[in-house]
Amino acid sequence: MGRRTLAKSFCTMICAFGWLWLIPGGSHAVSPSAFPTRRTVRAVEKEAPVPEDVVRFTNGNVLSGEVAEIADGSVFMKPEMAERTLRIPVGAVKEVVFKDRSVDRSLVADRLLLVNGEALNGRIERMAEGKVSLSMPSGQKVEVAGQKVAAIAFYRGAEVLAEESFESELPKGMHFEGGEWRTQRGWLLQTDSRAVECFASLPAMQTGEVVYEWTVNTTIGRSTGIYFMASDPGFSQERAYFFRILRAYVYVYLCVNGEEVYCGSYRISLYRNKNDVRLKCDSGRGMIIMWINGAEVGRWKSSVPIKRGEYVALRADGRAAFDDLTVVRAAGAVRVTPLPTPGEGDVLALVNGDEISATVKAVSERSVAFAVANSDEVRQIGREKLLYVRFNRTLEKLPRGRGGTVVLVMRNGDRISGKLLSLREKRVRIQSKHAGVVDLRLEDARKVIFKEFP
């Protein structure tokens, strides 16, 4: 390389990064207009994961790097390929998005839902004397006034609800309707090319967040699909969700009283013979996420969620081949939707899908004490039998992104708002209206919103 080329390259580097080198001192206050719009600033999708911390400014600019601290009304950040830390006034910042600092995203914790829709995660130790005690993952003990709690969801480990690999004869617990079914080389086959509306169903009590996985050959037959959260084993569903694969699309239907209501379609890319399908259904919120061969293809939210399913049914129209069907209740604490207005009492939701209307008296490490309507007798039920307890509370709304209030969004989707006291090293400290001063692990936080997007 000649001297002239070296000199030209050196000048280019000086122009690109000179704005950083020319700032005197250690940490420096900057305004968003000081950042160039090329090289340093990169467009970042709103919800996409980021490899580095990201600051989004009120004027639309974006800066990536490493956030060292948020305190005293400033964000302290070391940008990529810069030697010094910048001090950015929070008044110029819409939000800060954090890179994923955790190897394991799972959070082994109960969920405490507050009356304003916010949530805290930890171990519910007890509810007594008008207070709920929560042990946080950060090690902090928090006490929340009972009247500020809308629901308590209890953590449960993953549980296999149904599993079939079709390695031998037709499963004895499976119900078949229509068509000609048999197993061959680890596949479940429907071999009648003229038959339609053929079903192979398994009983499976589905509540909470449920994951469905199976493999399908889409090169034979007309269409295949699955009924999940289903009330019946066959076609005439009182209630169910129906996921259908037809050519280059998947279709979602809501089944009500034997009628299939079209809800949406999503374009997909299929392999020639063997395709892995995965669905996740949050029965509390009615949220359904769909994957084909590891790629997410769509999300759909039901306005009328199905709370409980009793069957899972594979459907074939014409010839079809299925393999490796599994239904698993995912580990975690379910997401409880608070009631907009008070009902007739507290509700205890059981793992088997039943609900008990009662007045909750107390919660301990192992059980929940309650009294049913028109009775003074206090009964006990083990926490392992419960998905959640929802209290008869009036909901309220807090102002978001106003008057110094920030919104902290966790990686599991929960939110908590309040005054951000500090963010440094591995801890976030926020002062919540309902929970007081709360310490959270930085690895559990996804972003801090200083000003809500319009």
pLDDT, tens digit, for every residue of 248-271? 899 999 999 989 999 999 999 888
pLDDT at 307: 87
Does one domain contain both 192 and 295? yes
326 pLDDT band, cuts 50/70/90, is very high
Question: Please, which residues have CB within 8 angstroms of residue 48's CB and are 6 or more apart in sequence?
Answer: none
b/e sequence 275-292, b meaning 16+ C-beta within 10 Å: bebbbbbbbbbbbbbbbb
Does one domain contain both 76 and 180? no
Q: Output the CA–CA distances (angstroms, integers) from residue 2 to 7, 16, 144, in the order listed.
A: 9, 22, 70
**Residue 69 pLDDT exceeds 90:** yes
pLDDT at 37: 38
Does one domain contain both 168 and 293? yes
338 pLDDT band, cuts 50/70/90, is confident
What are the backbone dihedrals phi and psi of residue 42, each rounded to the nearest 5 degrees, phi first? Answer: -125, 140
Instruction: Label the pairing between strands 209-217 and 275-282.
Output: antiparallel
- 171 located within any domain: yes
- 454 located within any domain: no
Does one domain contain both 71 and 179? no
- 112 located within any domain: no
pLDDT at 39: 34
- 178 located within any domain: yes
Does one domain contain both 176 and 303? yes
The domain boundary, picked from 97, 128, 151, lies at 97
Q: Quote the CA–CA distance of 73 and 315 in Å, as a whole number.
A: 58
pLDDT at 42: 38
pLDDT digits (tens, 9 = 90+) for 159-217: 999 999 999 899 988 999 999 999 999 999 999 999 999 999 999 999 889 999 999 99
5 pLDDT band, cuts 50/70/90, is very low
Residue 332: name the closest of 453, 185, 77, 155 by CA.
155
CATH number, residue 422: 2.30.30
**Residue 242 pLDDT exceeds 60:** yes
**Residue 28 pLDDT exceeds 80:** no
pLDDT at 26: 45
Instruction: Tell me if 158 sits within 8 A of 331, measured CB to CB.
Output: yes
CATH number, residue 182: 2.60.120.560
Q: Quote the CA–CA distance of 223 and 210 in Å, as a whole number.
A: 24
pLDDT at 403: 61
- 62 located within any domain: yes
- 165 located within any domain: yes
pLDDT at 309: 95
Does one domain contain both 171 and 305? yes
Q: Quote the CA–CA distance of 105 and 86 in Å, as a whole number.
A: 30
Residue 399: name the closest of 374, 411, 417, 372 by CA.
417
pLDDT digits (tens, 9 = 90+) for 99-147: 987 655 567 899 999 998 899 999 999 999 999 999 999 999 999 999 9
Instruction: Tell me if 219 sits within 8 A of 245, measured CB to CB.
Output: no
Residue 316: name the closest of 193, 415, 424 by CA.
193
**Residue 32 pLDDT exceeds 60:** no
- 121 located within any domain: no
pLDDT at 202: 95
Q: Quote the CA–CA distance of 264 and 250 in Å, as a whole number.
A: 8
Does one domain contain both 90 and 173? no
Question: Please, which residues have CB within 8 angstroms of residue 326's CB and are 6 or more apart in sequence?
Answer: 160, 162, 163, 164, 211, 212, 213, 214
State the average pLDDT for the chain: 85
The domain boundary, picked from 329, 360, 392, lies at 329
How many domains does the structure of the chain reveal?
3
Does one domain contain both 290 and 213? yes
Does one domain contain both 70 and 202? no
Tokens of 446: 């996804």
Percent of the chain with pLDDT over 90: 67
Q: Which residue has the higher pLDDT, 13 or 394?
A: 394
pLDDT at 106: 61
Q: Quote the CA–CA distance of 368 and 389 in Å, as a whole number.
A: 9
The domain boundary, picked from 329, 346, 373, lies at 329
- 180 located within any domain: yes
**Residue 284 pLDDT exceeds 90:** no
**Residue 155 pLDDT exceeds 70:** yes
Range of the structural domain that residue 267 is part of: 159-329
pLDDT digits (tens, 9 = 90+) for 301-324: 998 899 899 999 999 999 999 999
Q: What is the mean pLDDT of residues 365-390?
A: 93
Does one domain contain both 64 and 180? no
Does one domain contain both 193 and 315? yes
The CA angle 302-307-312, to the nearest 5 degrees, is 90
CATH number, residue 10: 2.30.30.100
pTM assigned to the model: 0.77
Would you give the distance in Å from CA 319 to the centre of its chain?
A: 36
Tokens of 378: 């206090």
Does one domain contain both 34 and 172? no
Query: How many C-beta neighbours within 10 Å does residue 413 have?
Result: 12
pLDDT at 18: 37
Query: How many C-beta neighbours within 10 Å does residue 206 have?
Result: 24
